[in-house]
Amino acid sequence: MVLADLRRLRMLRELAERRTLTAVASALGYSPSAVSQQLAVLEKEAGVGLLEPAGRGVRLTDAGRVLAGHAAILLRAVEEAETDLASLTDEVRGRVRAVGVQSAARRLLIPALVELAGEHPGVAVEITELEVELALPELRLGAVDLVISDDYDGFPRPRPAGLVHTPLHREAVRLVLPAAHPLAQGEAAVPVAALRDEVWAASGEGTGHHAMVLGTCRAHGGYEPDLRHRSDDADVQLELVRSAGVVTLLPDLALPAVDPRLAVRDVAGVDLARRLFVVTRDAPVSPALRAYLAALLEQGRRSPA
């Protein structure tokens, strides 16, 4: 059997992970019909059925799952070969696709990009803002090269096999209230229990931030918060504090330097912190990625804890 095109093998592997032709097409920049046509060609090349109907979509046959497993091995070998070849040249060149949540993109990924541009202009860094829950599957599939992941003390994230977590930064998590709030008068830390009757904002359900806000109120306040507003955008949460009088908990990197309409206070009796990690695949690192990682780790060291 001769498999003529690695692109078709990539489509098969993506289908094994993403489950639908539409999701594969979106990830790879094709139309669903083009993906379907290419997989039909792959079936002819393989000489065996790789797909079968499943409701309105398709799923892999046993042969399709076997070939998808081999496709993953072949694609990894190609990636390693490209890395080895890039390492033979004196000039650092290449593309780095970096993903992070808003605060990490703004305060870490972008400054590292600027620093790298002066030293290695041949490295093209692409930055995408994306929640960790969506970004890690893309990293595992090779659609991106690094992800800044976070977790909160007491609420660790799972660490999937095949990924490497490198500590990047640790920062405090603080309570954010409207400046006119009675509990914001003075500089004293505010106990979570005193916020029982407040309306809260947090990130969407299923995120680490959402779990941290809920868990903090339950464990240290003894109540279920009125978590009425949900946004993965820290700026939206801050505007809710300013304009709607809600409260929230946010890490330092997500906070503005000065805002007279906001009061930022420590949480009394609780050491809340967020830890940031650079997550990469457990695979050879290209010179371009290595250079950007060095700039990013340096940026993390410079950021105040």
Return the domain boundaries, the chain: 6-87, 131-282
Angle at the Cα of 125 from the Cα atoms of 109 and 8, rounded to 5 degrees: 125
Average pLDDT value for residue range 281-287:
90
Whether the per-residue pLDDT at 241 is higher than 90: the answer is: yes
Please compute the mean of the pLDDT values over residues 258-267 and round it to a whole number.
Answer: 96
Instruction: Pick 6-87's CATH classification: 3.40.50.970, 3.40.50.300, 3.30.200.20, 1.10.10.10.
Output: 1.10.10.10
Mean pLDDT of 227-251: 97
Q: What is the mean pLDDT of residues 72-84?
A: 82
Note the pLDDT of residue 269.
93
Both tokens of residue 23?
A: 């999701």
Q: If we measure between CA atoms, which residue out of 82, 71, 74, 78 comes closest to residue 11? A: 71
pTM: 0.79
Convert the pLDDT of each residue in 86-118 to its tens digit.
777 778 889 999 999 889 999 999 999 999 998
- The DSSP-derived string for 259-279 is -TTEEEEPBTT---EEEEEEE
Rounded to whole angstroms, the Cα distance separating 122 from 206 reads 38
Q: Contact, 146 vs 275, CB < 8 A?
A: no
Residue 305: what pLDDT?
66
Where is pLDDT greater, at 28 or 295?
A: 295
**Alpha carbon 154 to its chain's center:** 19
Strands 146-152 and 199-202: unpaired
pLDDT band at 2; cut points 50, 70, 90: very low
Q: What is the pLDDT of residues 189-225, one digit of tens each?
A: 999 999 999 999 999 998 899 999 999 999 999 999 9
- In the chain, DSSP finds a helix count (H) and a strand count (E) of 10, 11
> Contact 95/126 with Cβ under 8 angstroms?
yes
**Architecture in CATH of 131-282:** 3-Layer(aba) Sandwich (3.40)
